[in-house]
Structure 1
Amino acid sequence: MKDLDYASLDCLTALADERSFERAAQRLSISQSAVSQRLRSLESQVGQLLVVRSRPLRLTEPGKVLLRYARQLQAMRTDMARELGGRVTPNERIAIAVNADSLATWVLPALDRVVQAGLKEGFGLELVVDDQDFTHDWLRQGEVLGCVSTVRQALRGCAVQALGVMRYVAVASPAFVRERLPRGLNEANFASTPFLVFNRKDDSQALWVTKAFGVRSPRLLERYVPSSEAYVRAVSMGWGVGVAPELQLRPLIASGELQLLRSDVSVDVTLYWHQWKLLSEQTAAPARVALLDQIGQALATGARAALHQAEA
């Protein structure tokens, strides 16, 4: 296969991010016909269809493979520009996937120094949010270069490191406990008690009930609140029982705004950082740490300060 054209690869990443030819053209500051032409040229070079022209458009499996390469190449170009002391290409950004609970608690402080440096140097950091059991899929499909995930096994071509344990506990507002759970949450009433759930991927409530009462695959009265901050607020307002990170709930429990249920029961979720090994890492050590490595190091440092650390 001949050397692939940078502009065509940038076109593929824009299409993957924007999911339409019109928005991709706007992002690249070119016409839609130029986007189509670059895509056709790239498909001709690799001899395979890369994009399904649907609404929204989606990448084929070969397209996802090439997208992984294109994103790694963009990251390497960003590092090269930083090495040479110049500004990176406009709209250049490194995408990583994180879970909502980590984003609401420890991730932003951990990444602050990297982001502040990016404001000066011209690169951006894009955070993609999904359930911690599904962020790994974004990495596999080439949508991101790194992810915070519960998956322990590294993909081929990726590095992985343990970050720490996020502990989930059950809480409710004092008023909710007085009115709905005067005898506490127990085997007799958990099925008729409203539980707040982040989304349909969230199983922390079921895991907590299974651990607390020994019930496999419990059927719960679920109420959905798909925002980490709004979720905790809804629990405080008495909408139901919540199972959320102890790190996020700690000040509210201390102030008495929320009441801990079954202090002896918690669900521990071990988080891992995965990142693609860029081609530049296989050469001589650069004068400065690669941007993706900086992100991983920042997350590891922040996690050590905020999360429980599993015993070796």
Structure 2
Amino acid sequence: MKLGEWQMAGNLGAAETSGAGRPLAIEARGLVKRFDGFTAVDGVDIAVPEGAIYGILGPNGAGKTTTLRMLLGIIDPDEGLRRVLGHDRPHEISHAIGYLPEERGLYPAMKTYEAIGFLGALRGLPLAEGQRRGKALLEEHGLGYAIERQIRQLSKGMAQQVQLLGTLVHEPRLVVFDEPFSGLDALNQGKLERMIRALAAKGTTVIFSTHVIAHAERLCDDVAIIAGGKVPFAGPVDVARDRIRPQVRLETRASDGPWRAALPADVRHEGAFWFFSLPESGIEPLLRALIEGEAGILSLSIERAGLHDAFVAIAGEAAARALEEGNGEEGR
């Protein structure tokens, strides 16, 4: 559907809600973007409830940044529909949105609080108020000692924190982070995770892109998995993980006996342990067979699949390898 067809089809209803019954902060349908004949984004559908923490997960080059820029109105899709905070033209409500781009950039001669105030002014906040809030934010986040420092005097990580505070200084209803954890050390990544949770606790909608699965698994209510410009999955993290059956690890005293016939077909034996997928019938019938067959259960644990395993199952091995390669490049 072309953008021009939206009015003909009828605007997306403001009362539309997610599965949890919350209104949608962002809805996109069939987004397509081409550059010089190359399709960077190919039919993306996304729905982000208000107050959610939503992750767009995929390797570098998957189309994450292009998708975010279309959602924000920085670029227009060639096809598809989008609505942000109830508006068809996201750039017209930029005062309600905070955006941290992947490409960081601050004026090096500005002092930290001036840079924060300047970024707030770009979103409609009076400059003096933005600078006042900037000083308060720097103090609140342990950077009070750097209030009078110029950006050029900061480390890369500190400058990134200043730009992050500039993204939030105007108290937006929606915050969009593009690879926000890139370049941060482990300590500051933890601080950012806590900040994201605090924003959501206040009702702010947070959407961020990442190629690091651990951040999405710890933070997100819902994720969109993107690979090759397509979204093969968008929904709750738990639903993604449930694409793979839980795995059972069993340790027995006996190494053989009639009980072995009860083990699933995918069982493998490694050392003292048996590994297999949880049977569809559940663990109880298997436990009964093990006990009656005198297997001698020494230990038994059931592990639910992680988001990484779900990503591999949904997006494929090639996308998973690209994701790992991106993680390795960031670590170097």
Do they superpose with TM above 0.5?
Answer: no
TM-score norm. by structure 1 comes to 0.23
Structure with the higher strand share, 1 or 2: 2
From the CA coordinates, give the structure whose radius of gyration is larger. 2
TM-score when normalising by structure 2: 0.22
